[in-house]
Amino acid sequence: MMIEFPPFAFFYLAALAAAVLPRVPRQALMLAVPVASCAALLQLPSDLLVSMSILDLQLEPLRVDRLSRLFGILFHIGAFIGIVFSLHSRDRTQHVAALAYAGSALGAVFAGDLLTLFVFWELLAVSSVFLIFASRTERSFGAGMRYLVIQVISGVLLLAGALILYGQSGSLRFEHIGLTGAGSMLIFIAFGIKCAFPLLHNWLTDAYPEATPTGTVFLSAFTTKVAVYALARGFAGTEVLVYIGAVMTCFPIFYAVIENDLRRVLAYSMINQIGFMVVGIGLGTALAINGAIAHAFNDVIFKGLLMMSMGAVLHMTGRINGSDLGGLYKSMPVTTTFCIVGAASISAFPLFSGFVSKSMVMVAVLEEGHPVVWLALLFASAGVFHHAGIKIPFFAFFAHDSGIRTQEAPTNMLIAMGIAAALCIGIGVWPWVLYDLLPFAVDYTPFDGSHILAQIQLLVFSAAAFAWLKVAGIYPPELHSTNIDVEWLYRRLAPRWVQQTTAASRRAVDATSRAGEGLGRNLMRLVLHHYGPDGTLARAWPTGSMVLWVAVLLGASLVLYYL
């Protein structure tokens, strides 16, 4: 029946068709798929559960509730905007990969059991890596391979944890898990890898900036948000997430401030924003969960808008480093305007989308008695305004006149950015439309006078600090450099350690071999001395000497016998 036709199936069928269709029908198909799929999703009952049995395993490949429905709507919006943004591209590989990637994300959020989740979890990795490979550079190939290895490891951990839980409970149902043992810990780490937890985050900052201008838009929408959904489903109220999330909000700021590649700045900013979501999930209250999910919804849109604006800059100029850009507002005024809207949204300006969701998490943190965490989030809010709210538009469009004169981005790119900008403003002005979709009833008023005043003060003082740092020459300059992050451990230290260990082992083997050869030669000389053709025991003896030795041995035997 159509009413139970899973939304992700539309995308997989479209990906299959896009692989063989010519360009023009392929574009029409890509635009129609998210519209038709979302219409089918809205017709599904809010409590739908489709079950099936395979090899005595009870699977639930399609489960619809308020949480999965919201993420389903979000992913359809993200897919539609990304598709519009990529319509100018003639790369069939990217089109097929993007459709399969979006379908995998939808399959993951509608999975009702851990085995189905694992299948889509791995399909996410396999389909998305082609958006990185599509840049067709040596750097993108290396980053894509590292990305794929880490994502597959996450899937292996998820499967191992699921099997352990199945052995303990006899059920694969994906519901609240909590940290209760080895199996749940493996699943927690698997979710943490895709969520870019501290020390597990570098796959994101390594791979996303190497994707194509259009591929990065899709990447920013799906993988990490699927992980946020999984954490909300399986580990809501797990207190350790509060502190993990607080660290996630703070440490990327320092990297983003000194980073030159503006898409890598946004990658660090993504980790920063996910930290707010993780804190809310860790608190586990209705307000906190609603805030986390609402912020995930808004982040897909405003982060996608910022990624699109930087993708348009890269597409038109071939450059993305802040040190190489500047003055582009003269050539790309519309893109500049859309970028400023995204910057205002991520910075949580009142009447923009970030304000109506981030403040929910901040209030929930105070209500649950975490003042230190609240201060960390306050610092992070000021920091995101520095690196994403100011740095991105300032260095790309205003910092100095780089002399680059180009044209405005293609029409399809402008339309996609316009849709995202309209949503950023619309949600910021009418947040109740989003609030009605959240998992719990919302009893929260974002436009409280104290909230607005506190946020404006934070933004004003942050802007003043940025201006003073620039005027005083203290703000880190945009330089062509490589910033050392945790990935240095496995990209530089680990290979160097393996190389040195291998060399030391080879030297030890060579030394042992040489010692063995010397010992063997000495042994052979000893054997030849005694048993060789000219050895002591091999040469001829006189008959008299032999008779004498026989008599001696016989006498010794008789003495021993009678004693």
Per-residue pLDDT averaged across 115-127, rounded? Answer: 96
Q: What percentage of the chain exceeds 90 in pLDDT?
A: 64
Residue-level pLDDT at 539: 62
**Alpha helix (H) residue ranges in 48-113:** 66-85, 92-109
* pLDDT above 70 (res 478): no
Is residue 6 helix, strand or coil? coil
Residue type at 326 in one-letter notation: G
Q: What percentage of the chain exceeds 70 in pLDDT?
A: 95
Predicted structure pTM score: 0.88
pLDDT digits (tens, 9 = 90+) for 128-185: 999 999 999 999 999 999 999 999 999 999 999 999 999 999 899 999 999 989 999 9
Alpha-carbon distances of 241 from 46, 159, 246, 459, 563, rounded to whole Å = 29, 22, 8, 27, 88
Residue-level pLDDT at 2: 43
pLDDT digits (tens, 9 = 90+) for 127-139: 999 999 999 999 9
Rounded Cα gap, residues 119 and 110, in angstroms: 12
Rounded Cα gap, residues 51 and 524, in angstroms: 76
CA angle, residues 295, 296, 297, in degrees to nearest 5 = 90
* pLDDT above 50 (res 517): yes
DSSP 396: I
- Residue 540's φ and ψ, nearest 5 degrees, are -70, 140
* pLDDT above 50 (res 1): no
* pLDDT above 60 (res 525): yes
- Residue 388, CB half-sphere, CA atoms under 13 Å: how many? 36
Please say whether the dihedral angle defined by the alpha carbons of residues 16, 193, 207 and 209, taken in this order, is positive or negative: positive
Rounded Cα gap, residues 223 and 191, in angstroms: 10
CA angle, residues 444, 450, 452, in degrees to nearest 5 = 85
Per-residue pLDDT averaged across 195-200, rounded? Answer: 93
**Residues 6 or more apart whose Cβ sits within 8 Å of residue 279:** 241, 242, 245, 246, 249, 288, 292, 361, 365, 373, 377
Confidence band, pLDDT 50/70/90 cuts, at residue 276? very high
30-57: b or e for each residue (b if 16 or more CB lie within 10 Å)?
beebbeebbebbeebeeebeeeeeeeee
Is residue 53 helix, strand or coil? strand
* pLDDT above 80 (res 533): no
Beta carbons of 71 and 79 less than 8 angstroms apart: no
Residue-level pLDDT at 536: 61
DSSP 328: G
- Residue 217, CB half-sphere, CA atoms under 13 Å: how many? 34
pLDDT digits (tens, 9 = 90+) for 422-457: 999 999 999 999 999 999 999 888 888 888 888 898
* Number of Cβ within a 10 Å radius of residue 486: 14
- Residue 318's φ and ψ, nearest 5 degrees, are 75, 10
CA angle, residues 59, 60, 65, in degrees to nearest 5 = 160
Beta carbons of 288 and 281 less than 8 angstroms apart: yes
pLDDT digits (tens, 9 = 90+) for 63-106: 999 999 999 999 999 999 999 999 999 899 999 999 999 999 99
**Residues 6 or more apart whose Cβ sits within 8 Å of residue 51:** 58, 59, 60, 112
pLDDT digits (tens, 9 = 90+) for 483-494: 777 777 777 777
Relative to beta strand 57-63, strand 49-54 is: antiparallel
Beta carbons of 310 and 266 less than 8 angstroms apart: yes
- Residue 482's φ and ψ, nearest 5 degrees, are -115, 120
Beta carbons of 280 and 438 less than 8 angstroms apart: no
Per-residue pLDDT averaged across 5-9, rounded? Answer: 89
Tokens encoding 534: 């000219």
Identify the CA nearest to 268 among candidates 205, 188, 195, 341. 205
pLDDT digits (tens, 9 = 90+) for 379-415: 999 889 888 888 899 989 988 787 888 899 999 999 9
* pLDDT above 90 (res 554): no
Q: 């989003």: which residue's tokens?
A: 434
